[in-house]
Structure formats: C-alpha cells, structure tokens
C-alpha cells in the first residue's frame, strides 16, 4: 500500500512550482507596466496642474501690472508680449540645429 504522505507531497510541489512561475512572469511583465502607467498618469496630472498654475499666474501678473502701471491695459499687454516674444526668440535660437539631408 502506498504511503499517503508522499502522495500529497507532489501536489504541494506542483502548486508551489506553478505559483513561483506565475510570480516570476508577473514580476517581469505586469509590475513594470504598472510602474510605467503610474509615471504616465502622474506626469499627465502634473502637466495639467502646471498649465493651470501658469495660466492663473499670467492672469494675476496682468492684473497686478494693470494696477501698478498707469494708463490703459494694452500697455501691460505690450510689455508682457515683448517679454514672452523675447523669451521665445532666445529659446528658439538655442535649439539644436538640424542638418539638411543630402
């Protein structure tokens, strides 16, 4: 008559082997994808919050300069437009140059 203790041993070993394979596959596939998806979600959220904060800051700057500077509000628009245009031109001039394809 076979020993009942060894019969249950192979089932436990098989279950442990299956579990270790599943854990290994998950750690190589799902875990990196979860990490990447977190970076994408948090990056998108940070970009949206940053865009809203920049918009509110520019609106506040226009209102503060409108109170501080005498005259019409178009003077503030010209000053800020000049600052933004100059900043854009400086950044544009510092971009990496592309070589023309021969």
User: What are the pLDDT tens digits along the chain (102 aa)?
Assistant: 455 555 568 889 999 999 999 998 888 888 889 999 999 999 999 999 999 999 999 999 999 999 998 889 999 999 999 999 999 999 999 999 887 765
pLDDT of residue 28: 87
Residue 2 lies in a domain: no
Residue 99 lies in a domain: no
pLDDT of residue 55: 96
pLDDT of residue 7: 57
Contact 90, 96 (CB under 8 A): no
pLDDT of residue 64: 94
Residue 55 lies in a domain: yes
pLDDT of residue 102: 54
Residue 1 lies in a domain: no
Domains in the chain: how many in total?
Answer: 1
Which residue's entry shows tokens 């940070």? 46
Neighbours of 76 (CB within 10 A): 19
Residue 51 lies in a domain: yes
pLDDT of residue 43: 97
Residue 98 lies in a domain: no
Residue 66 lies in a domain: yes
Q: Can you give the residue range of the structural domain that contains 82?
A: 7-93
């Amino acid at each position: 008559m076979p020993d009942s203790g060894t019969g249950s041993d192979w089932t436990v070993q098989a279950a442990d082997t299956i579990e270790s394979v599943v854990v290994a596959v998950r750690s190589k596939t799902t875990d990196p994808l979860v990490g990447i998806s977190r970076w994408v979600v948090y990056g998108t959220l940070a970009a949206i919050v940053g865009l809203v904060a920049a918009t509110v800051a520019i609106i506040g700057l226009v209102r503060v300069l409108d109170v501080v500077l005498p005259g019409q509000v178009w003077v503030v628009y010209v000053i800020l437009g000049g600052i933004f245009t100059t900043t854009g031109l400086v950044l544009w001039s510092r971009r990496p140059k592309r070589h023309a394809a021969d």
